[in-house]
Amino acid sequence: MYTKFSTITIFLSFVLSVFTGCEKVNTDSPYIEGLSIENYPIIDGSTSTLPLNRVIACELLGLNYQWQENKNSSSGSTWSIEPKIKSSLKRKLDNLVLSSQTHNSFINLIDNKVNIALAARSMSPDEKEYATSKGVSLIETPIALDAFIFIVSPRNPVIGLTTENIQDIYTGKKLNWTDFGVVISPENPGYSVIQPFIRNQNSGSQELMDLLIMKDLEYIDLPIYKENLIFTMAGLIDAIAGSPFGIGYTVYYYNEFIIRPDISYLKTIAIDGVKPTEQTITNRLYPYTTEVYAVIRSDTDKSSMTYKVYEWIQTATGKQTISNSGYIPN
């Protein structure tokens, strides 16, 4: 018999589900049999690959997601991929989809704290040395294209530099923008002095700078940098925007999809006569087109969900998922 007590019980259950977010959501993968949020591998990654990391998880677990603008950055706003799920499930997903930054992601993978790493560069020499000391080897598989780019303030009239120009700036051979044909207003003669910003050691963009541009060249005496040493990607963007004659570097995807700077805020310059665009990166015409890697330990069990996810990323569906994130599939 349907009683008053039954009505109250149903009502309380409804209220509890609304306010606690305890709604049951099916996360069984439509692509990998047996995969769900309960056995999804822990995937770490760099700052720039976090949107890709989340898109892969959402696609594999059948969850909806969207790009969201976050107006809480000193640079005005940033953009992120956000799953359209209740907070309780979001917390569970956040424990599986990490962003410890490039270096820490590699170390976590070597230490077997995570299952897969996504990074916009390959391992650095010291990371390889650490892996060897632990008796670990990693498999690095290119899955997408990115690019190493140079940025300046829109107030800086320079539109392009050569690789040699960049080397001259960061070795200290050239100290003034007038050396590159920039005409400086007589009212602001001090603005001719170049401010070369640099990232911290082991950051993804700094390793790319060392590998692609500087190679065996010596940087200008580091004490000169002081405040020009920047420890976050967002911090470097802010520093360049606030410095009319500064110069710095980042990766194309981070700049175009996460920062999305207004043309009055930041300017990307051409290198060796080619400006980084989706087309010049896809065709590898831009000289510093780079690769994004999915990385696993070589001792990963091939029957594990980790290996199945790693393989799926390389399938046609996986490549489409990479494209959905904004990256260019490799």
pLDDT tens column, 212-242: 999 999 998 754 556 688 888 888 998 998 8
pLDDT interval class at 74 (50, 70, 90) = low
Residues 209 and 256 in one domain: yes
Residues 177 and 285 in one domain: yes
pLDDT interval class at 71 (50, 70, 90) = confident
Structural domain harbouring 141: 33-146+291-329
Residues 123 and 151 in one domain: no
- Interatomic CA distance for residues 48 and 254, integer angstroms: 5
Write down the pLDDT at residue 17.
43
Write down the pLDDT at residue 76.
67
- 12 has a pLDDT exceeding 60: no
- Top-confidence range, 70-79, 177-186, 294-303: 294-303
Residues 97 and 174 in one domain: no
Indicate whether 159 belongs to any domain: yes
Calculate mean pLDDT across residues 43-63.
97
Contact 84, 66 (CB under 8 A): yes
Indicate whether 19 belongs to any domain: no
Residues 299 and 284 in one domain: no
Residues 157 and 247 in one domain: yes
Write down the pLDDT at residue 262.
85
Residues 236 and 316 in one domain: no
Which residues, 6 or more positions from 11, have their beta carbon under 8 angstroms from its beta carbon?
A: none
Residues 202 and 313 in one domain: no
Write down the pLDDT at residue 199.
92
Residues 95 and 55 in one domain: yes
Indicate whether 7 belongs to any domain: no
- 20 has a pLDDT exceeding 90: no
Write down the pLDDT at residue 181.
83
Mean confidence (pLDDT) of the chain: 89
Contact 250, 208 (CB under 8 A): no
Report helix, strand or coil for 107: helix
Which CA distances in Å does 81 have to 20, 248, 315? 24, 26, 22
Top-confidence residue, 71 or 133 = 133
Residues 199 and 275 in one domain: yes
Indicate whether 319 belongs to any domain: yes
What is the CB-side half-sphere exposure of residue 143 using CA atoms within 13 A? 33
Q: Residue 304's domain is classified under what CATH number?
A: 3.40.190.10
- 9 has a pLDDT exceeding 50: no
pLDDT interval class at 290 (50, 70, 90) = very high
Instruction: Give the predicted TM-score (pTM) of the model.
Output: 0.88
Write down the pLDDT at residue 115.
98
- 114 has a pLDDT exceeding 50: yes
Domain count, the chain: 2
Task: Count the Cβ atoms, other than its own, within 10 Å of residue 271.
Answer: 22
Write down the pLDDT at residue 191.
59
- 28 has a pLDDT exceeding 50: yes
- 24 has a pLDDT exceeding 90: no
- 16 has a pLDDT exceeding 90: no
